[in-house]
Amino acid sequence: STQEKTPQICVVGSGPAGFYTAQHLLKQHPQAHVDIYEKQPVPFGLVRFGVAPDHPEVKNVINTFTQTAHSGRCAFWGNVEVGRDVTVPELREAYHAVVLSYGAEDHRALEIPGEELPGVCSARAFVGWYNGLPENRELEPDLSCDTAVILGQGNVALDVARILLTPPEHLERTDITKAALGVLRQSRVKTVWLVGRRGPLQVAFTIKVPRPRKRLTELLLRTATEKPGPEEAARRASASRAWGLRFFRSPQQVLPSPDGRRAAGVRLAVTRLEGVDEATRAVPTGDMEDLPCGLVLSSVGYKSRPVDPSVPFDSKLGVIPNVEGRVMDVPGLYCSGWVKRGPTGVIATTMTDSFLTGQMLLQDLKAGLLPSGPRPGYAAIQALLSSRGVRPVSFSDWEKLDAEEVARGQGTGKPREKLVDPQEMLRLLGH
Ligand code: FAD
């Protein structure tokens, strides 16, 4: 029967990893059916909730993901949190194979005193706030200070610095949320420092050119050492906002204000590099430096969480232990994206590794390593979800929300005004 020839595959998470894995499976197997489960009522993961609003071209991948979702052999089920609404063993029972692509939902803590003070927040939460991530929509960071310090020097740190320093009128026609734009309009932040433990040769941000490391170093050196021409010098002198990189500084403590109520600065240990090449480490010299500021954003990395006690998890590396996407010791279970590799790399990297996971899964299918005989797929999960009072959001439901967001943006010249309240989304869908 056709059912016997139809591998039922389940993907957990609808970010780039989930969608690229699904795309590969559908393209390379003429019968495979793929269901994508997503905990948010809306798809696309960090493409919607991470990528900066002033980088709209990066979000064009959504067009490809939408094509995948329109395949007659693919379904999207949003508003379903795996590990809470349905377990991984239940999914494995209903499908021939399960791919975990649920990203990295947590942030790494600084683990220094004062981290809990008001005025300190994670870059992850700040990014979630300006991008309308439901759990961060009420963050309202206090931007009434004149100096912000970002601890970390990766791509996310640069995004956050740019959003803090961009004149708000330049963000008006992006999909940044109305609330965030309102707060940024009142911002008094003039100076942003990006602090890193290591030096210019080790910074983690990427640029879009070949031989990026050499080019990046040249760029940094030129900017730092070249004497600006008269026009550039005048422009810099009149600039109302500024930013800078502080190298070889390791945060020791967030300093409290005199009344102890909020953050007033960061104490940094001066470091120097020891070792060569890959083994270089930043070690403290013993010197300290206090950097006054009213806002501290920690940007030392994202982190995956374990999703379900039945799934192996390496809490030290923050990944699901796997060999090329095959979860160790669990046949029929796979992973892709940030939860497979750790939270680094751009969308293109995630695409390559997701295709590879798809390839391994199809190899196993061909070799007869996956369960034989038909599997019920969504029919079984739907019954479970409905008995638990969970109402999934389909891709056509998302398209209604999408149209609503676009319509709300139209009056103000924005590509969309994001819906940020899941309850409102479900209400709009009549759920
Ligand atoms: P994610 O995109 O995080 O997707 C994971 C999905 O799983 C999410 O939708 C999540 O809601 C869902 N999920 C989580 N837990 C569950 C659960 N229990 N049940 C069901 N679903 C669940 N790359 C670029 O190329 N260009 C950029 O400009 C760029 N900017 C970035 C800016 C920021 C701030 C960040 C953090 C990253 C940026 N990246 C950028 C990197 C890019 O976003 C990642 O490479 C990519 O999103 C990783 O894909 P993923 O699918 O593994 O994770």
pLDDT for position 83? 97
| pLDDT over 90, % of the chain | 82
- Residue 21: Cβ-neighbour burial (10 angstroms; 0-12, 13-18, 19+): buried
Residue 200, Cα to own-chain centre: how many angstroms? Answer: 24
Closest atom of ligand 1 to 123 CA is 34
> Is ipTM > 0.90 here?
yes
pLDDT for position 200? 77
User: CB within 6 Å of ligand 1 — which residues?
Assistant: 12-18, 37-40, 45-46, 50-51, 55, 58, 81-83, 101-103, 105, 127, 156, 159, 302, 307, 337-338, 345-347, 350
Q: What mean pLDDT do residues 237-256 have?
A: 91
Q: Is 205 a residue whose pLDDT tops 90?
A: no
Q: Is 125 a residue whose pLDDT tops 60?
A: yes
| pLDDT digit string, tens, across residues 15-34 | 999 999 999 999 999 999 99
pLDDT confidence tier of residue 238, bands split at 50, 70 and 90: confident
Ligand 1: which residue has its CA nearest to atom 15? 102
Q: What mean pLDDT do residues 70-95 have?
A: 98
Query: Which phi and psi angles does 8 have, rounded to 5°?
Result: -95, 115
Q: What's the gap in Å between 225 CA and the centre of ligand 1?
A: 37
Q: Give yes or no for a contact between 167 and 124, defined as CB atoms under 8 angstroms apart.
A: no
Lowest mean pLDDT segment, chosen from 200-214, 243-257, 387-401: 200-214
Q: What's the gap in Å between 95 CA and the centre of ligand 1?
A: 24
Q: How far is CA 8 from CA 33, 74, 81, 346, in A?
A: 5, 10, 19, 29
Please state, in angstroms and rounded to a whole number, the distance separating the CA atoms of residues 304 and 281: 25
Closest atom of ligand 1 to 48 CA is 2
pLDDT for position 419? 98
pLDDT for position 391? 96
Q: Which token pair is 418?
A: 């994001």
| pLDDT digit string, tens, across residues 284-322 | 899 999 999 999 999 998 999 999 999 999 999 999 999
Q: Is 386 a residue whose pLDDT tops 60?
A: yes
Q: What mean pLDDT do residues 239-253 have?
A: 92
Q: What's the gap in Å between 239 CA and the centre of ligand 1?
A: 34
Q: Is 14 a residue whose pLDDT tops 80?
A: yes
Q: Is 107 a residue whose pLDDT tops 70?
A: yes
pLDDT for position 228? 82
Q: What's the gap in Å between 343 CA and the centre of ligand 1?
A: 9
Q: Is 206 a residue whose pLDDT tops 70?
A: no
Query: Regarding predicted confidence, which is higher, 37 or 205?
Result: 37
Pocket test for ligand 1, best of 46, 162, 175, 299 (most atoms within 8 A of CB): 46
Q: What's the gap in Å between 407 CA and the centre of ligand 1?
A: 26
pLDDT for position 207? 66
pLDDT for position 273? 87
Ligand 1: which residue has its CA nearest to atom 3? 103
| pLDDT digit string, tens, across residues 346-371 | 999 999 999 999 999 999 999 999 99
pTM recorded for the entire structure: 0.94
pLDDT for position 212? 67
Q: What mean pLDDT do residues 190-196 have?
A: 96
pLDDT for position 39? 98
Lowest mean pLDDT segment, chosen from 53-62, 277-286, 401-410: 277-286
| pLDDT digit string, tens, across residues 176-191 | 999 999 999 999 999 9
